[in-house]
Structure 1
Amino acid sequence: MGFIKFAEEKKWKAWKEQEEIILRNHGVKEAVIQELYEYDWHDFKRNRSFGEHQTVSDDLVHFLGCSLDTYEVTSMDALLDQLSDVKLYYLLKDLDNLTQMIIYMKFQGYSSMEISKKLHVTVRSIDCKLYRLRKKYKNQ
């Protein structure tokens, strides 16, 4: 699933405000509180960056409406047969064979680097195809 930046930041700020109240009640100096805030903010931004750039397979599992543990997919046709989203079914069905193979391999848990080695395409090409596919799905 995608990372919702605003919601995560709102939760972090609420948590941080509660923490600062507790620290002030225990007599911690403002300089220390500010230093903790800056450290936690840096850590939050690093985690947010990771969440925003997480692998696409999570999105595919979300789009497919199933989890990797529940289904054993042996082919792209089997993957298409398990779709509950009609819009996604037609989107994936009409793709070229290379993009279908990339999606199938992502669903199987391959990284973009592993897929690029097996299919002899660049990692950038794979990531671009998946990005465009997600964008096309969201705009339908």
Structure 2
Amino acid sequence: MGYDYKKEYIRWKQWKENEEKILRKHHVDELTISDLRKFDLAQFNAERSFKRHQNVTKDIFFTTQPIYDKKEINNIDDILDEIESESLFEYLKKVDPVVLNIIELKIKGYNINEISQILGISISSIYRRIKKVKKFLKK
């Protein structure tokens, strides 16, 4: 059974309208209510995206076993220690430190917008740097 976006959106919208009635009853300003709506909608969309792509009936779901010997990555040195390809290791040692920071943040689960804010560089610059690494990997 797939995720029914329309049904869930209607339920979310009804919940949100009831919540906003209560907030207005308690004299909460409209700007705060608007901010809450935007935040809750973003959370709803994130959950929707997760549920849409989650498929517990795939065969891999039942054969996946936890891996406990995987090293946790906390910094750039941990990333370099895990690389088995000598040419990739040499390339990453010579590459701009910003690229290594991008890779580290990406591995930690940050999205491109968050990485852009953290490092203070443009999104297009991040994509350009990632493209260079991918180009090297294709060789």
TM-score by length of 2: 0.48
| Larger relative contact order, structure 1 or 2 (CA cutoff 8 Å, min sep 6) | 1
